[in-house]
Amino acid sequence: MKDVKTILKSLREFSKPTKLTFVYIIGEVFLEVLIPFITARVVNDIKAGAQLSSVAVTSIIMILAAMLSLLCGALAGKTAASASAGLARNVRKDMYEKVQDFSFSNIDKFSTASLVTRMTTDITNMQNAFMMTIRTAVRSPMMFIFAVTMAFIMGGKLAMTFVVIVPVMIFGLYLIGKFAMPAFRAVFKKYDRLNESVEENVRAMRVVKGFAREGYEINKFSEASDDIRGDFTKAERIVAMNGPLMQFCMFFNMVFILTVGSRLIIVNKGTTIDVGQISAMMTYGVQILMSLMMISMIYVVLTMSLESVKRIAEVLNEEPAIKNPESPVMEVKDGSIDFTDVHFSYSARAAREALTDIDLHIDSGMTVGILGGTGSSKTTLIQLIPRLYDVTSGSVKVAGTDVREYDLETLRDAVSVVLQKNVIFSGTIKENLRWGNKDASDEELIEACKLAQAHDFIMGFPEGYDTHIEQGGTNVSGGQKQRLCIARALLKKPKILILDDSTSAVDMKTDAQIRMGFKKFIPDTTKIIIAQRVASVQDADLILVMEGGTIKAQGTHDELIKTSDIYKEIYEQQTKGGDQE
């Protein structure tokens, strides 16, 4: 119920159509149950030789009741559709906004494929269940109660047939639900794996084709799809037993009422029960059994949807690991950075720390280079500066203030990060660049692109800055993509600019031109460059050499050549080794 309450918080402006649905359903059920009672009166009046005018009046009342019931049903359908679709929209919006507030550690808990499944399949299941709940889950129990009450009023002892039939129906439906539910529950996690297979295949299409692994990927997808089909087939076969069970109970009811009722009419000559009452009993029997069958379907659908509701609520209830402080600092004065006794682990259960004993001071405006092998935690180090993660212990300060004291948006506006994996969105080059500054003028776009050495290749396109970029930037090269991302970061006019191996796909000449541009045009911006090439950081004011999550050495190029064996080895491999080749 806690998860259900979480979902219902998103109902908001659609609470009114939800309440109206209940009102219309009550009216529909009341009128629908009243019609067999009126029908029985008409039949008995005709048998008693009533005047045509009397029969006509009763018939008109019955027709009006039927029309009103139909109108209530139609209105209930309209309001239920509005409420369920509105709830789904709000939940999807709330989930998306929640994900936007997640820190990296929160996102690490949910796979991308799982989040996609939760925002599509799970929300659709929740929407269908909600519609069924406010319509059928209200209508069927009310219909059952009203119909049973009227059956005993109209049929007397003849209604005792329901004392036998109803328990049989309920027990049968319980068994169907019990055996069907495990298969339905198993499906959702398998949906995650199916979506993950599609996502990986599409994202890594070039790799798949490069290794000619299309057949393998097709087989992997087919196996995941067949697995889901198998579970659904098993569940649906069990649920399909609803039909035969319903027919058995309905036909038993009809035979019992007709046989016993006819005998009572003949023996008692219509003094205890009449033809009209038998007619009403037949109708009430169908209504009772249909109500029970619909309740069983509700049970199946709600049980299925509860797993979806749980998965949705997990996202909505997830608290962002990184939040704004109560009285945040709203200004970053400069680009100075201090790491003081910093330790960091991605998880409390991690076997070892990603960063250990980090002590570092960077003056505002400095250019800092970071070198290190794969897994040396270079990227982890820089991710602590814009507070993408929080330190496990110690502190990271920007402009003399702990990053945990800043307003998150203020801090991240002052720190531009061009990550190792460059992301370009579908749209024009201008639209992509303005992610850095939505109000940037065309002149500012050009200036940033010239600084990032991107202007010339952009102007080489027929449509220049209005050139459309395909999804994922598939129509530009890796080096062009990197330069566009650098220009986008520069448009923020940051106090700190971080390049995480962001010039790896450009040639050394262009790399040098970009660094020269930084030195000339943004001297007051602190520049942190993670690189694999010594040449990319050789002129830096400070170079850090990292290994195993610690800073093994730091200093200028000349200092490190003399004091750091690791740096000297890297330098010689990239210079002397290159000459020998």
Q: What span, in angstroms and rounded, lies between the C-alpha atoms of 413 and 409? A: 6
> 563 near 523, Cβ under 8 Å?
no
How large is the average pLDDT for residues 489-496?
Answer: 89
Distance from CA of residue 264 to its chain's centroid? 62
- Torsion from C-alpha of 409, 410, 414, 418, nearest 10 degrees: -10
Between 486 and 504, the higher pLDDT residue: 486
Query: For the segment 325-334, what is each residue's pLDDT rounded down to a tens digit?
Result: 889 999 999 9
When mean pLDDT is compared over 144-158, 266-280, 449-463, 492-506, the highest value belongs to 449-463
Name the burial class of residue 253, with classes exposed (0-12), middle (13-18) and buried (19+) by CB atoms within 10 angstroms of its CB: buried
Q: How far apart are CA 225 and CA 193, in angstroms?
A: 9
CB of 149 closer than 8 Å to CB of 106: no
Q: Which helix (H) or strand (E) holds 478?
A: helix 478-490
> 91-124: per-residue pLDDT in tens?
999 999 888 888 777 777 777 777 888 888 889 8
One-letter amino acid of 263? R
For residue 97, CA distances in Å to 92, 102, 107, 315 come to: 9, 9, 13, 11
Region 511-536: mean pLDDT is 87
pLDDT at residue 581, rounded to an integer:
37
Residue 579 pLDDT grade (very low, low, confident, very high; cuts 50, 70, 90): very low
What are the angstrom distances between the C-alpha of 359 and each of 332, 339, 385, 550? 21, 5, 13, 9
State the pTM of this model: 0.66
Question: What integer pLDDT is reported at residue 580 of this predicted model?
Answer: 39
pLDDT of residue 355: 94
Task: Look at residue 341 in the predicted model and tell me its pLDDT.
Answer: 95
Pairwise CA distance, residues 316 & 426, whole Å: 28
Contact 410, 495 (CB under 8 A): no
Whole-angstrom distance, CA of residue 390 vs CA of residue 387: 6
Average pLDDT over the chain reads 83
Q: Given a cut of 80, is residue 288 above it in pLDDT?
A: no
- CA-CA distance, 489 to 497, in Å (whole number)? 8
pLDDT of residue 268: 67
The burial of 4, by beta-carbon neighbours within 10 Å (0-12 exposed, 13-18 middle, 19 or more buried), is given as: middle
Q: List pLDDT tens digits, range 343-378.
A: 999 877 777 899 999 999 999 999 999 998 888 899
| 272 has pLDDT over 70 | no
Classify 396 as helix, strand or coil: strand
Is the confidence at residue 243, as pLDDT, over 80? no
Tens digits of per-residue pLDDT, 444-468? 999 999 988 999 999 999 999 999 9
Distances (CA, A) of 450 to 281, 444, 447, 454, 510: 86, 10, 5, 6, 11
The pLDDT of residue 54 is above 80: no
